[in-house]
Structures are given as structure tokens and as C-alpha cells.
Amino acid sequence: MRIVVTALIFLAGMFNLFLGISFLVNPADMGQQFGVSPGGPLGLAVLRADFVAFFLVVGFCMLRGAWRRNGDLLLVPTALFAVAFTGRAISAVVSGTQPGFFEPMVAEAAQVILLLVGWRVIPHHKIAELTS
């Protein structure tokens, strides 16, 4: 099971790296796919900075955690996806939804579950071991 979970995390990490690089190269088109339209150079800079940072950090931590068999690194993308999911859930309640609203939430929830399973099955370092 650990090999399958590790492989799935590695593939998801590669996908997230691809998303990050895509936002860097073509922020306007990627933003539209995510329901965001830049309002000029500042908007493009936000897409390049924030979306690239989010997806590259998530992807890097997933790849590094899977490759190095370090489950602790999986907690970073878990937290990021959980916060993103929570923000979307709040938005659904406060602002409502539209067609296509829930697909990103499903992707975020699936990755949170995958990463938590990975954190359980991939070895992680205990604090006591790190300090000794």
C-alpha cells in the first residue's frame, strides 16, 4: 500500500508543479481556467506570484516527501489544501455557487485525504529523534 500511495503522491506532486509552471508561463489563460481574470499588470503579477507559489510549494513538498520517504513534508501541502478547501466552503455558504464550483473542492479534498494517508504510511520523524 505504501508504494501505491507514494506513487500517487508523486504523480499529484508532478501535476501541481505543472500547474505552478503553467501559471508562471501563461497566467491569463490559467487564471481563466480557475475563474480568475487579471485586471492588468498587477493582476498578472498576483497570478504569477500567488498561484505559482502555492502550486510549486505544494508540488515540491509532495515530490520531496514521496521521494525521500519523509511523511512530515506532506503536512505542508495538506495544510495548504485544507485551508483552500475551507475558504471555498465559506465562499459557498456566503456567496453561493455556480456550475463548476465544486470540482476544485473535490480535487482539494482528495489531495488532503491522499496526503493524510501518505503521512500515516510514509515514515515521519518524531521530534524526540530530531533533538537527540
Q: Is 96 exposed, middle or buried (CB count within 10 Å of its CB: 0-12, 13-18, 19+)?
A: exposed
Residues 96-132 pLDDT 10s: 999 999 999 999 999 999 999 999 999 876 544 545 4
What angle, 0 to 180 degrees and rounded to 10, lies between the N-to-C axes of helices 2-25 and 102-121?
140
Residues 7-43 pLDDT 10s: 999 999 999 999 999 999 999 999 999 989 888 999 9
Residues 57-95 pLDDT 10s: 999 999 999 999 999 999 999 999 999 999 999 999 999
DSSP the chain: -HHHHHHHHHHHHHHHHHHHHHHHH-HHHHHHHTT----SHHHHHHIIIIIHHHHHHHHHHHHHHHHTT-GGGGHHHHHHHHHHHHHHHHHHHHH---TTSHHHHHHHHHHHHHHHHHHHHS----HHHHH-
Is the confidence at residue 48, as pLDDT, over 50? yes
Q: What is residue 128's predicted lDDT score, i.e. its pLDDT?
A: 42
How many Å apart are CA 17 and CA 58, to the nearest integer? 8
pTM of the model: 0.89
Is the confidence at residue 50, as pLDDT, over 50? yes
As given in the structure block, the three cell numbers for residue 49 are 506570484
Q: What is residue 124's predicted lDDT score, i.e. its pLDDT?
A: 72
